[in-house]
Structure 1
Amino acid sequence: MRVGIVGAGSIAFGTAVLVEQQGHKVTLWSPSGERTKALSAGEPLIAEGAIQGTFHPAVAATAAELVASAEALVIALPAYGHKTVLDAIAPYVTEQQTVIFSSHASFGALYLSRLLAERGIVATIVAWGTTAVSGRQRSPTSVNVNTVRKQVDIATVPASRSTAGLAVCKDLFGDRFLDRGSLMAIALSNLNPQNHMGIALGNMTRMERGESWSQGQNVTPNVGRLLEELDQERIAIASKLGLDVRNIFQHFHLSFHVPVSSISQMNQEMHDAGNGGSGPTTADSRYVTEDVPFGLVMTAKIGRLAGHPAELHEAGVRIFSAMYGRDFTAENDLLNALDLDAMSLEELKDLCQNGFAAAA
């Protein structure tokens, strides 16, 4: 298949090499064009770590060019860039194409569904609860793939196209997907915001000072307990809504291939195996600037709608807003555009199953 990837960071690069390893052709598009200059000049993309090799993705100059060349599109950039790129690609997406969010955040799938519906289009939109790969971008032409996940939870909008959405994902990325059946479940399946909240709070001075530090090693017992308590809040909201989502222990086991134990112990084993990852070396990290407004804020809003407030998540939003001198709730342009606060729980549930109806 011909696959267009929106983004040119670590996840986009890691996704590109995984897709090409599966035998498909990739085209990358960076909205600014800065991150793809070397690749567009003909330099290869070098992968190390869990995927190794030399790859040759193409580069598109515009959103229109990317969409026109692709059978499937993958959104693979931080959530604070999602609305901008969705606005850019939506005029060109057709009903025959599949759009995949790697990973999904703040009901971006519904925002895209609404944009397409305004054109009379209903496309197959697949939302992932996490990314298929994790890693770090080493340079404009290299990526270290930290891990390729054994399992990724997904849902398709509209749900009537779930079989088609699952088939495309398996074709492109291999047999590693579990269909959770509802976008609402996927909205509560991304563990990065809660995990990054605890890690960032516990290591903020390291981030601010630009230190080099092991993330896994510094998920100490106290930080680990915080992550477990945050997870209990998320699981409780999902249970209140009758949804089946993975817990934090399953997440670390399936993502990083360590035996189930306490979260701190699992992270220590990841560190000992050389798979613990490096922590952020700046306070201007997506662990906060993406995951707080587009992760914690969303979970908190769903909790309020469900009648089960996520008090630790809400406290995290307020603490980070105070630390950074920013209103992170106001920075979520996707939820603001959807006007989620004006929706009832039943309205949101219906949209998660059916998406927006195409305009006549």
Structure 2
Amino acid sequence: MSEKIAILGCGNGGHAAAADLTLKGFEVTMYEDPAFKDQHQELFKHKIVHLQGAAGTGDIKIHDVTTNLEQAVKGATIILVVVPAFVHASLAKKLAIYIEPGQIVCLLPGTFGSLIFYKEFKKVGVNYVPVAESHTLPYATRLIAPATSLVMSRFNPLKIGVIPANKTDEILTRLSHLFDGLEAVESVIACGLSSLNPIIHVPGCILNAGRIEIAKGDFHFYTEGFSDSVVRATEAIDNERIHILKQFGYAHDIAAHGVGGSIQSDSIKEVIASDPNFAKITGPANFKNRYYAEDIPFGLASWAKLANAYDVATPIMDSMVNLGSLIMEEDCWSIGRSLGELGIEDMSLEDLKNYVQNG
């Protein structure tokens, strides 16, 4: 019998992962919240993902697609959480009551979301399920039509952090059957701080807000929007991110080395703006897009809160969050997750490092 994998979330990443892992021989069950089922009528009706691009081509029959969370995760060896960051807290509470011994939960990506799942599991006495997170999706991918997934490229390496980190080797061995090029990092804190999206999305979103507002999606974000001034802001945010990693004593590298596209360079502009795969990507169409709604309050704001708690100055991140709040007409500091929600409020630096290492 094939190994069962549950994929929670039927968005861009969920479609790509379901098709890719089905082609690799896994029995995949996809789950979507009932409130969003109507957005995926084609997928629910036929249980087929029309796959194009770097992960293969064809009409891929998925084992099952359901709105029943218990049914989706029952018997699965690995549960992949492929949902926006603002869904993590509510989904963690729902999932906690269905978790089984021996299962692994992995967020693709996490941006510290693994801490929320781990905290919620412990609340209900589930102390035996490690939670992993990646620094980005395994794929550069978009849904280009109903149930139609275009995978432009794979991200390699794919950085993985695990809580507790003392289970990292074991968990990476099990996840390596799903994805190639996995790279262990010291902890889920290190992994969350390796996330690409807040770095490469937020400066372009803030500094191109007028163009985005007028273009309504007719805008090539990574070429038109990645000018020299945007690149300078991107590099400044990356420098602040590196300072946070240094404060924790974690390994660090520039964002340009983590993109994993077809261009290899020390220059973030060259890596992004010169990559033909990135050149195809248009949008955002409005300020509700996840580049704004996720990467500012749940990305940069989370980093800045962590930095502030451990005496690292992040003036550029702070300014981006403040401007994002103005543009979105929402307080990105308060709608994003707090250190309390992550379960790490008022911990000393050493206590936090011990917690993510040993649980």
After TM superposition, is the score higher than 0.5? Answer: yes
Query: Structure 1's 274 and 186: CA in aligned 2 closer, same or farther, altered over 3 A?
Result: closer
Call closer, same or farther: CA 1:8–1:334 in 2, change over 3 Å.
farther
After TM superposition, give the deviation of residue 294 of structure 1 in Å.
Answer: 0.7
Q: TM-score, normalised by structure 2?
A: 0.92
In structure 2, the partner of 1:227 is 234
Stretches of structure 1 lacking an aligned partner (at least 5 in a row): 356-360
Give the structure 2 partner of residue 99 of structure 1: 105
Correspondence 1:108 to 2:113: yes
State how far apart, in whole Å, the 2-side matches of 1:320 and 1:343 are: 28
Change (3 A) 1:181 1:95: farther
1:199-278 to structure 2, matched below 5 A, reads 199-209=204-214, 210-218=216-224, 219-252=226-259, 255-271=260-276, 275-278=279-282
Tell me the alpha carbon deviations over residues 12-52 of structure 1, each in whole angstroms, 9 at most, x when there is no partner: 11121221232212111111223443222225210112222
Distance 1:142 1:256, change over 3 A: same
The TM-score with structure 1 as length reference comes to 0.91
Checking the alignment, whether the CA contact within 8 Å between 1:183 and 1:353 is kept in structure 2 is no
Of 165, 169, 172, the match for 2:175: 169
1: CA distance, partners of 2:337 / 2:270 = 37
Contact 1:194 1:313 in 2 (8 A): no
Instruction: State how far apart, in whole Å, the 1-side matches of 2:273 and 2:110 are.
Output: 28
Shift of 1:333: 4.2
Counterpart CA distance in 2 for 1:119 and 1:266 is 44
In structure 2, the CA distance between the partners of 1:2 and 1:298, relative to structure 1 (3 Å rule), is same
Equivalent positions of 1:1-360 (< 5 A) are 1-31=3-33, 32=35, 33-51=37-55, 52-57=57-62, 58-105=64-111, 107-121=112-126, 122-174=128-180, 176-209=181-214, 210-218=216-224, 219-252=226-259, 255-271=260-276, 275-333=279-337, 335-338=339-342, 340-355=344-359
SS in 2 for 1:222: helix
* Residue aligned with 1:171, SS: coil
Shift of 1:124: 2.1
- Share of identical aligned residues, percent? 24
Distance 1:202 1:102 in 2: 27
Aligned length: 350
Distance 1:179 1:43 in 2: 34
Mapped partners of 1:334, 1:23: distance in 2: 39
Structure 1: distance between partners of 2:165 and 2:269: 37
Higher relative contact order (CA 8 A, sep 6+): 1
Cα distance, 1:147–1:344 mapped onto 2, change above 3 Å: same
Q: Which runs of 5+ in 2 are unaligned?
A: none
